[in-house]
Amino acid sequence: MTTETQTASRRRASFHNLTVSEVRRLTDDAIEVTFGVPAELAGQYDYLPGQYVALRTTLPDEQGEPHEVRRSYSICAEPRSFEDGSSEIRVAIKKDLGGLFSTWANAELKAGDVLDVMSPQGAFISRHGKDGAAVQHNVMNSMNHPEELAGEPGNFVAIAAGSGITPVIAIARTLLAANPETTFDLVYANKAAMDVMFLEELADLKDKYPSRLALHHVLSREQRIAPLMTGRIDSEKLQALLSSAIRAEDVDEWFLCGPFELVQLCRDTLAARGVEPEHVRFELFTTGRPDRPEGNAGRPVVEDESQDTYKITFTLDGLTGDVASPTHARESILNAALRVRPDVPFACAGGVCGTCRAKLITGTVTMDENYALEQDELDKGYVLTCQSHPTSEEVTVDFDV
């Protein structure tokens, strides 16, 4: 990766108030929300297709008490900026069953509302290109004119389910525009036609690139003419799709985005077919562990001088501080750090997004889940602080590197 790409995909997260400029209904239970980004903040909100933003607001919880909620949503449009230097961020918000934020947003959010929006993050981006970063580099330098990008031609395949289409549509648009020889196969799974998000946009993209984009809608609860396109994607159907529907012999990059089970099935299947993991990018909706609520910021841990503690030292924005964490509490480094610095960055708190990444400088930790860091990052000592628990008396991490 070039330094520029590293900066774009790993910029330190910070929140700003952004105003909603448009809310557009996509399906009965999904909306697209556009935030205007003023010129003075545009540099902090440039992004690569496939990245996400965290949104933060305060909503009443079940007891009616004000409760801070953070949710991450993928950006669904290719980067754009306007003549006056301003830009915009578009995300799609699908109503989750019982989801406090997504239910509220689908019912209440309107143009003119203001939310805290975190600067874009995430590593679900294409690395295809001469130096492994050519496409991203070009995108970052030609945000308004993706047609002019000199990205390497490539064959790409994406398998998305439900709102997993959100980052994928931004990636597909950009890669198809970047090189006239690029092909993109998209397998998009939904329950029924009425659940398909961006139906029109996908049809328009197909019209624009009739021979280069192959679109395979798979519906689990609706009969389609081709039996292959009907039913849930299980191992058998996936093998059949890969053998008969996907055109490319040599796929340069795979993009997988959906619930844990589907992404895991695809990863295992591709690995068994000999696809190298470095050609596979994936993004999960959740870790499949709803017992870990998103936005669980700093649950109370009572420190008591008689208890054994771990000493956690951390550097954030150039300031170094430390916090004692009782050994019996088995709290995460993020949790402990939030008690003394509420601005420690996090979004999903579930090992998925990578926002809480820091480098382990001294000491040892165990990490529960990791769906965000790649092997080279682990080799360099990076950890997800929301998933890391000290195993040595003293631990030092650095959020700034």
What's the min distance (Å) between Cβ of 271 and ligand FES? 23
Contacts 24+ apart (CB under 8 A), 228-232: 232/189
Q: Which is nearer to ligand FES, 150 or 401 (CB)?
A: 401
What's the min distance (Å) between Cβ of 348 and ligand FES? 4
Q: Which of 25, 43, 71 is nearest to 348 (CA)?
A: 71
| Whether the Cβ atoms of residue 336 and residue 301 lie closer than 8 Å to each other | yes
Strand, coil or helix: 132: coil
Q: Give the Cα separation of 258 and 352 in Å (integer).
A: 12
How far is the CA of 164 from the CAs of 52, 107, 186, in angstroms?
12, 21, 12
What one-character DSSP code corresponds to residue 148?
A: G
Q: Which is nearer to ligand FES, 91 or 134 (CB)?
A: 91
What's the min distance (Å) between Cβ of 219 and ligand FES? 31
Q: Which is nearer to ligand FES, 214 or 337 (CB)?
A: 337
**Residue 372 engages ligand FES in binding (rule: CB under 6 A):** yes
**Residue 355 engages ligand FES in binding (rule: CB under 6 A):** yes
What's the min distance (Å) between Cβ of 204 and ligand FES? 33
Q: Which of 217, 158, 224 is nearest to 186 (CA)?
A: 158
What's the min distance (Å) between Cβ of 62 and ligand FES? 24
How far is the CA of 391 from the CAs of 180, 299, 303, 330, in angstroms?
52, 20, 18, 10
What's the min distance (Å) between Cβ of 385 and ligand FES? 7
* Part in contact with ligand FES (CB under 6 A); list of ranges 58-66, 249-257, 352-360, 393-401: 352-360
Lay out the site mask for ligand FES across 104-123 (x = CB under 6 A, - = otherwise): --------------------
**Residue 386 engages ligand FES in binding (rule: CB under 6 A):** yes
**Residue 384 engages ligand FES in binding (rule: CB under 6 A):** yes
| Two structure tokens written together for 320 | 């170094």
Residues binding ligand FES: number (CB under 6 A): 13
Q: Which is nearer to ligand FES, 73 or 209 (CB)?
A: 73
**Residue 353 engages ligand FES in binding (rule: CB under 6 A):** yes
Find the binding residues for ligand FES in span 321-350 (CB under 6 A). 346-349
**Residue 351 engages ligand FES in binding (rule: CB under 6 A):** yes
Q: Which of 172, 138, 18 is nearest to 86 (CA)?
A: 18
Q: How many CB atoms lie within 10 A of CB 82?
A: 13
> Phi/psi at 304 (nearest 5 deg)?
-145, 130
What's the min distance (Å) between Cβ of 30 and ligand FES? 22
| Whether the Cβ atoms of residue 53 and residue 77 lie closer than 8 Å to each other | no
- Which residues lie near ligand FES (CB under 6 A)? 346-349, 351-356, 372, 384, 386
